[in-house]
Amino acid sequence: MSQLAKLADVDYRTVRKIFRDPSAIIDSDTLDKLCWALEVTPAELIEYKPTAPLIWQKRMGLGGEEQERPQIEEEEQESDRTSQ
């Protein structure tokens, strides 16, 4: 970890945090430096795993269930026809 931190010019504590918690949030500059040092692409370094719905989704009533999309275009077209 120490060698990687030096090579990537990233703080050792950041590298340690990523090793201990692979789901840790890192900024794009850090990701870029680590990829450069390891000679890999971000896609090779990161694995996407969907998680439970986010709190904001629940608060907005989107809790992971599929929502019916509003029919705005149809309503606008009908409104245009009646106003002419």
Residues spanned by the domain of 49:
2-64
pLDDT reading at 39 higher than 60: yes
- Residue 24 covered by a domain: yes
pLDDT score of 3 more than 90: yes
Domain annotation covers residue 80 = no
Residue type (1 letter), 84: Q
Task: Specify if 82 maps to a domain.
Answer: no
Position 38 in a domain: yes
Number of domains making up the chain = 1
Confidence of residue 81 (pLDDT cuts 50, 70, 90): low
Residue 70 lies in a domain: no
* Inside any domain, residue 74: no
Whether 25 maps to a domain, the answer reads yes
